[in-house]
Structure 1
């Protein structure tokens, strides 16, 4: 699309506030992902095996050889054991939605209460089970927030793990506990220097540490009989029994517990909670501040989980849409290519029975070139059209240029070239002026920064042999494709634009005939009122108007035009910003097509739907994809994330290779495609975000005049193709 008005203020500064909103949203998303990653991926509930032995030089003898309940609050170390014939039954690693309810059922069946050392993350995932534990008279203790090894954790994480689990308990139950058990702990003799340091830190916060004297080793899943043997109690001494209600398959635990409890009763043992066994009230009502803080903590974690879940489903949906788009685009492009080859074969005299010969269109054409300050390339543009093998008249409409554009054209002195000078009124007014001066019924519109190949016009207009066709899109090529930015735009034109146009052609829902090269029936243009200035994407607006008027709009891939692409990121931003904003305007203007029938309905339900999903919604979701990718590299399996990215890249490369083959382009520039994911892609989705916000804010965006580079000439590859 050519531009006609000089750059002015684009939008009020207030609209730029959306960038702060975007940054804030991405920051909030990053926090939610970091919380979710910490809660579920930095640690995890697994087999509760005891870590390898380490130094125990600083562990007091009273701890190493004392009772399983350790109180080191206030600096003094005291330990205690349950009284004779008393068994304190404890469970670690829950609550688990499958096994904890079954264990609670067994305990209720045998009228036994126990102590559950819960993992904070599991408690937040299953709050109803935590409340059931309390409601049925059981006791709760802290087993850290994410089941991390406190002995190897830094001090900040130790505090976070213990305090986080406490807040989870308070937020769910409204109560607080004074009991804690470090993960991967067992008996007193296994306490190491690092574990003791963690126990002391917890004691400073008011916690009693509960170890065990009998380990069922059910975490090994050795079989019900073995677990029962491990739970065998001999002698009258009180014991603390260790079992698990979460972390893995606990079917054996449930069965062993159901058989062990009657045996304990027969042997005269009383099975109870830790607090009851040692005669303390281990749980209290949480203060208002504790309950408020705990509730906020739980709700925050639940919100982060919801956000991550929603994003995960969004990524799945985006992946499915992207895959469907790839399949559709390739399939429709192949169908379009086969149809074009059949028609060409028939037209060359090798007629097939199922393909009618299309009559050649030979009538002369009016070529309209709207120009505003196009001095850098207007001569090349005009000379390339003059060299057409098809009879043409050329109408250059100078739209108030200040750089002598009209003088350059007049100085050429080429017969058949007419120059119209007018005051600056914008590209639509220039096109309409040219349309009014056109002598022929077929009109070709070409931007002033574009050159044609000699056979472009003839190839472009051949589908007008079908009286249903009202407009034809040509194949726009990037002329200045040197450098990585030029290569990226070259790929986008070949893969993004031209593959889509083939799909739109077959689906009969073409939304845009580009300003760089398009052919129209003059009568069709007059029926829709000429070129409208309602939007900044006058070419898209005009094409949609033609579709809604019942005309077919098609794509001619062998009608090539070469145009200058922006050479800097700033220029590219300005161009795509205007394109995207103008497209949104056109989509809104023609939204009524969604409920229409015929050609208008195809545009509305197919074309506008495709644009909305692929060119608006997916780009709006793209920043979240990038943030989630970083999350995956940090918290998930980097190899799996890398593999998914490679799969996505391979799909893109296959699509690009096929598109390049259809356009008879060399595959060399595709080496830049992987790099496109780290700069170009982000620029494009930021353009969409800016455009959507500008549109929603109701701000009128003015024209941006693009910089011209004077590089317009038919590339050597095109010249060779002509030969």
Structure 2
């Protein structure tokens, strides 16, 4: 019984662990993306980019419209069983402004009205009121009346009752949140005179009346939207023979400077003729159209305004972020193209040498933990080396017989060192302590070298200022889709980067798969540190700060086994990302250090922080705005912009493949990599940020190896540069 209880407890603990992993890995990043998309959709809604219908329906006859409506005034009250109309009394003029509020022109219109002590009615759309609530509040504070003009400004003639209710309720919600009021005035979009009512628009007016609204059209149209000139606007807005009128103007929808100028002349001119400029209810001697909103209705309105304002600010921030990331991506690509080409020409020119040839033996350290499937290929590739070496396999407490496999091979100059499991840095330090030579090569237990790799890797040590050399790591298992994506990333993102960083003299990382160090340089910085999960990045930064040069040897090729599943890829990149953040934080003082050793802090550390930690976090904005543009925005421009970015990446990738003498066929998967692979890397990086900000600790994660990377290709059968690289 106790045994079964312990088993259930252990199983429950494992199940609970699996359940806890899901939220950390997927839930929060997914929530961030969903929240961003929700904000963008809300922005699209309030900008009339979705659900809007700007079509005007054709006339539909008038036989169903009551005669008293067609022949009546511009104020239509259909709230009762017998619709009636009202007209403004003589020498009273009601100015009405449609489609606002506009952040540019509405304040100018309000300023002119205030200057001439005139009131007006503003028929606002919900989209604009939601975006500029302060202007709605100003209208109310200065004594003007507010009317509904729908939320999205559709032609209501052929809309469903459900859509009409939605337009009214959303318009009221925006006004309630902006100014704390409700209004009973309504003007349909695209309306004109009461005589223009037809069989399509009249049922809408009747239905709106049944909802408690008074429909206000006009009987004097300034046609200011045509921009006919100030004099013509004044002429059209002036009623005949002292008659009262409801004048239609606009404070939004384009350049309204003629409207503002006309008002400044129109108001004093008609006041001199005895006209009073009043609200509609003032002109009709009726109760105010406004009622105060309180309680839940008020808080719903305020919540709506808050969300809209948040979406505006967040979207503006995203646009700025997109501009920044676009500039960074383009700038980085151009810099990589320029400096990597310069690097290739420099190291490939005839007679180039780092210094005197390096011919002395070197020690190769192979830290191994449960590498039974790979270790034999690794050691045999080293035995084919063209450079004299000794090989130290440091077995870090393997439980799969890794050490026994190496010992059973019985190879000369190969030693096996066993230790209790203590981690990769400890294994490397143990190897350093037992190495016989001053130059030390480090590689992973799942990597194979070409015969010339060690020789090419150690030649830069002919320069006494060089403390470490980065080799050219290549993906050996590139036949799967995930492998092909990583192959592109290695060639383009890693090796092209290393060429650039080499020219800038601020190489950030010696890859664990293929790197070489001057033993005395490592001893000066205290050896390999276990302070971070990216010991290769950590030690490289430490060497820079100690004043050593770190360079890139393009012909020192190593073939490594990349993760073959999303789970393995996730684990590896999570450790890399988090470890890089740890290393950057550990060496942050390099930013203020002086002298030659401070160059890395002035150039390298900012570049690494920007391009490896910050910029990738913003990269998904390109895809988020792609989706937004395809659904809501200008589709053709959006697709063109995205294809332009993809084309730039393709050019860089093709150039990188040519520099590395790789076949171009793998670039077929580049578009899919940009859509899917980048999102995986984004979520991994976001999770790393969360781990770092919450103070979490990430343990080293061992990847499952398959041993699919065999002996490296024979250099004698390598394809020439024009045809690509090895298969």
Q: Do they superpose with TM above 0.5?
A: yes
Spell out the pairing of 1:66-465 with structure 2 (5 A cutoff). Answer: 66-108=72-114, 110-234=116-240, 238-261=244-267, 264=270, 270-289=276-295, 290-342=297-349, 344-347=350-353, 358-465=355-462
- Equivalent in the alignment of 1:351: none
Deviation at 1:455, TM superposition (A): 1.0
Ranges in structure 2 where 5+ consecutive residues have no aligned partner:
1-13, 721-727
Quick one: distance in 2 between partners of 1:649 and 1:540?
29
Q: What SS class does the counterpart of residue 552 from structure 2 fall into?
A: strand
Q: What SS class does the counterpart of residue 678 from structure 1 fall into?
A: helix
For the 8 Å contact 2:571–2:701, the answer to whether it is kept is yes
Q: 1:607-636 CA distances to partner (integer Å, 9 max, x unpaired)? A: 332222222222333445543432222221
Change (3 A) 1:103 1:543: closer
- Equivalent in the alignment of 1:499: 496
For the 8 Å contact 1:179–1:282, the answer to whether it is kept is no
TM-score (norm 2): 0.90
1:577 has 2:583 as partner: no
1:514 has 2:511 as partner: yes
1:657 has 2:654 as partner: yes
Q: What SS class does the counterpart of residue 480 from structure 1 fall into?
A: coil
For the 8 Å contact 2:29–2:683, the answer to whether it is kept is no
For the 8 Å contact 1:115–1:139, the answer to whether it is kept is yes
Q: What SS class does the counterpart of residue 434 from structure 1 fall into?
A: helix
Quick one: distance in 2 between partners of 1:54 and 1:43?
27
Deviation at 1:295, TM superposition (A): 2.8
Deviation at 1:229, TM superposition (A): 4.1
Quick one: distance in 2 between partners of 1:571 and 1:131?
57
Q: What SS class does the counterpart of residue 157 from structure 2 fall into?
A: coil
Change (3 A) 1:642 1:561: same
Q: What is the root-mean-square deviation of aligned Cα atoms in Å?
A: 2.9
For the 8 Å contact 2:133–2:305, the answer to whether it is kept is no
- Among 550, 554, 557, the residue aligned to 1:560: 557
- Equivalent in the alignment of 2:4: none
Deviation at 1:292, TM superposition (A): 3.3
Deviation at 1:225, TM superposition (A): 4.1
Deviation at 1:236, TM superposition (A): 6.3
For the 8 Å contact 1:67–1:81, the answer to whether it is kept is yes
Quick one: distance in 2 between partners of 1:685 and 1:43?
28
- Equivalent in the alignment of 1:532: 529
Quick one: distance in 2 between partners of 1:659 and 1:706?
28
TM-score (norm 1): 0.90
For the 8 Å contact 1:10–1:701, the answer to whether it is kept is no
Bigger shift: residues 206-215 or 290-299:
290-299
- Among 52, 57, 63, the residue aligned to 2:69: 63
Bigger shift: residues 100-109 or 677-686:
100-109
Change (3 A) 1:194 1:23: farther
- Equivalent in the alignment of 2:723: none
Q: Which runs of 4+ in 1 moved over 6 A?
A: 8-13, 43-46
Quick one: distance in 1 between partners of 2:163 and 2:674?
36
Deviation at 1:346, TM superposition (A): 3.9
1:36 has 2:43 as partner: yes
Q: 1:674-714 CA distances to partner (integer Å, 9 max, x unpaired)? A: 00022211111111122222233333322322222222234
Quick one: distance in 2 between partners of 1:11 and 1:432?
34
- Among 515, 520, 524, the residue aligned to 1:523: 520
- Equivalent in the alignment of 1:354: none
